[in-house]
A and B are shown apart, each in its own frame.
Chain A
């Protein structure tokens, strides 16, 4: 369990706790069947209750799903998301006051094409998952990753929030709901199966060979496993959000466990995604506006999930991924996973300490109405973190690159010598537009033969300026960006045109902010 209590609790008190008790901690009668962590053993029944209660408590505490809202569960086939699916099923079958009040659906993204799986293999896995999904009675959508190639550019535009109700409206909505509509949920899932018209099921649709080829070309154009995994994450998220929008869902539930999120947090930090940590690891992620991403499993450790799935026969399906059968040092993602796993084995508080860190990070996210899309990263949709102060890792990296290459005209020793730290105003380094104007100027200058034009990525000069720090690292690892899906490339063009226009008319704009 990801306990939020102090890790550095008093040694004086800690010594008094008996290490492992044989009886259940909760009922103190039945024999303990699982030990979640030192001193926390539960019997089968109490463990089940604890596990189920935690899910409802997480949703109850955050109060963002309104009654009768359509919620899409992203199920990858792994233990955590399958456990989430079973918890939702469980929640819908509870008695009235404990019952979950939303309308679930399932989405599975089949990524077999990205790792060159055969069609037969992909169909076999899909059939296995389909059996699991059918058992829930929920509508489900099986979407091959190839469909990302045909997404509309609107995926990259933040939608207006659908329910702009304040948190205070939540309780009223729930009360109202309980009084009026609770009857529509009274049918247990197996009875709902007798009304097939309301159900929406898709098995793996036919995938054209040419689509598979295009996807593989895209993945093949990325030179490192780190960047491949990062790009795949982004594409997957776009496809999930698009599916949610197309099918009328307003919430998307992701199955990331506490352990998974600890790895993700450290990975994000390592990839330069520090500014996005709250969105990447928090309970809710509002970056898409109309579709809110949620992580209701973030309180469960992978160990607890494994116990629960095993004891209560929750099925999960092994799905090979990009990183299957790779070594620890194959990518930053794998490296981080190995690091956390090993550290957790030696220091059992590792994951919970990282979790506490994530709890304290700010969602410094402007509401979607104020942040226009040109200020967002073209890939990950986060607010651009490249317009930074001159003394920053971003600018100092640019300076390092310039200083290591053939000196630009004007950047002579004599000129640099005239600067003094005592006169900061005149301290813009000569011939170095980047250090004075911040990242955005630099990216734009690249197209016009400015100081950064020496960069190798000259064939796609402008994509960089539309990306956040970390996504820039990803395209740096690509041999070409020409294989990116059309929706990304055409949105890039649109944003560039807008910014050119804005530049042309800038002297007439009074505010300069609005799009």
Chain B
């Protein structure tokens, strides 16, 4: 006997929602999924009428579903937003060039303007070239730091008021664990925020409309909507530690499906002891981007790459920042330590 949809009670259910375990028909699932994103946007007051919003588009499932739902909700509820796609080309052969093709197809389908900024034009380095110099172990540090700034630079070129990213509930929950495991209290406090206000010049406010959407439901949505997305993992292997956190979260979800939301609830209700030092935000002396040090992470990494000292940006070498800024030579010992790649 077919199971009936628990929402409309007359159509046949085609899926069991990972989030609530209800059986739903296709239409009711679409409706529920979209409506939840809408409720999130409304409740958190993510946008204002008339804003220009850049959707960070990677061609992956999250950003593809985000672009689709944002376009749909903007029309359904008259948000009055001017939407556009913003992509970063890291310069990874066989990964990013293919996924960018997906983004270009999305652009045509959704009739949204697209801006692509590349690492090569911004930094003079592609990820392929970076990996050649630093190896496979810490390349994600470069990728993450560069992407963050690249999105901001692209957003400024596009003159958008906000960037929305495809971070989903699983990503947020995983980040809560990562920050606990790193003992990073400053990030732990911020990571469950659904939006960031501008932290300074050159930083565009960001928000996560899919914050409460389960990754599994995003995949179900893309599958039943037959959305075109690129599903290959980054070929430069991801951080092992994060992999452990992700597996742990998946295991938790299998024991108790609400776990993902439960972890986010925990993150939203943490309180940090007064007197715990939080990094003071200033700006980078070289490029003006926000930074708690004299040089921003991106400039330090770039300096390391350009001088053939890849370890400069890995670990903490604040003491060397002033030397770099004033272009003083490093000692032989310092050079040697920063050169080796076996980290």
Contact = CB atoms under 8 A, between A and B. Distances in A.
Contact of B273 (A266, A335, A362, A435): A362
A332 B266 contact: no
Interface in B142-180: 176-177, 179-180
B141 interface: no
A393 B212 contact: yes
A397 B212 CA distance: 8
Contact of B265 (A350, A357, A359, A393): A393
A268 interface: yes
Interface in B178-192: 179-183, 185, 188
A404 B316 CA distance: 49
Nearest to B247: A339
Given A8-B316, A361-B273, A421 B268 contact: no
B80 interface: yes
Interface string B92-135: 00000000000000000000000000000000000000000000
B212 to A, nearest CB: 4
Interface string B248-272: 1001101110110111111111111
Interface in A339-390: 339, 342-343, 346-347, 350, 353-354, 356-357, 359-364, 385, 388-390
A224 B255 CA distance: 9
Contacts of A400: 17, 19-20, 32, 36, 212
Contacts of B306: none
A459 to B, nearest CB: 20
B258 A363 contact: no
B255 A11 contact: no
A18 interface: no
Contact of A473 (B9, B258, B272, B314): B258
A191 interface: no
Interface stretch (B71-79, B228-236, B294-302): B71-79
Contacts of B88: none
Given A397-B261, A403-B31, A11 B7 contact: no
Contact of B7 (A332, A336, A407, A470): A407
A91 interface: no
Contacts of B188: 357
A266 B274 contact: no
Contact of A391 (B44, B262, B316, B317): B44
A469 interface: yes
Given A354-B180, A403-B35, A8 B315 contact: yes
Interface size class of chain A, counting residues whose CB lies under 8 Å from the partner chain = 35 or more
Interface in B28-78: 28, 31-32, 35-36, 38-49, 76-78
A451 to B, nearest CB: 14
Contacts of A7: 183
Given A362-B272, A435-B43, A469-B265, A399 B256 contact: no
A16 to B, nearest CB: 11
- Classify the secondary structure of A's interface with B: helix
B244 A275 contact: no
A353 B261 contact: no
Contact of A269 (B46, B77, B266): B266
B7 A393 contact: no
Contact of B177 (A269, A362, A421): A269
Contacts, number: 213
A409 interface: no
Contact of A357 (B19, B43, B183, B258): B183
Given A11-B315, A390-B43, A404 B185 contact: no
A389 B264 CA distance: 14
A329 B264 contact: no
Q: By CB atoms of chain B within 10 A, which of A389, A390, A422, A429 has the most? A: A422
Nearest to A271: B262
Interface string A452-482: 0000000000000000011001000000000
Given A10-B316, A360-B272, A362-B272, A404 B183 contact: no
A331 to B, nearest CB: 7
B42 A335 contact: no
B265 A420 contact: no
A383 B46 CA distance: 29
Contact of A356 (B183, B261, B269): B183
A12 interface: yes
A217 interface: no
Q: By CB atoms of chain B within 10 A, which of A278, A385, A405 has the most? A: A405
Given A405-B7, A420-B77, A270 B262 contact: yes
Given A8-B316, A399-B36, 8 more contacts: A273-B266, A332-B252, A360-B273, A361-B185, A391-B43, A393-B262, A417-B77, A470-B262
14 contacts: A11-B311, A12-B334, A224-B256, A272-B261, A343-B244, A346-B244, A354-B183, A388-B269, A391-B40, A394-B265, A400-B32, A406-B6, A421-B79, A473-B262
Interface of B: 6-9, 17, 19-20, 22, 24, 28, 31-32, 35-36, 38-49, 76-80, 176-177, 179-183, 185, 188, 194, 212, 241, 244, 248, 251-252, 254-256, 258-259, 261-274, 276, 311, 314-317, 334, 337, 343
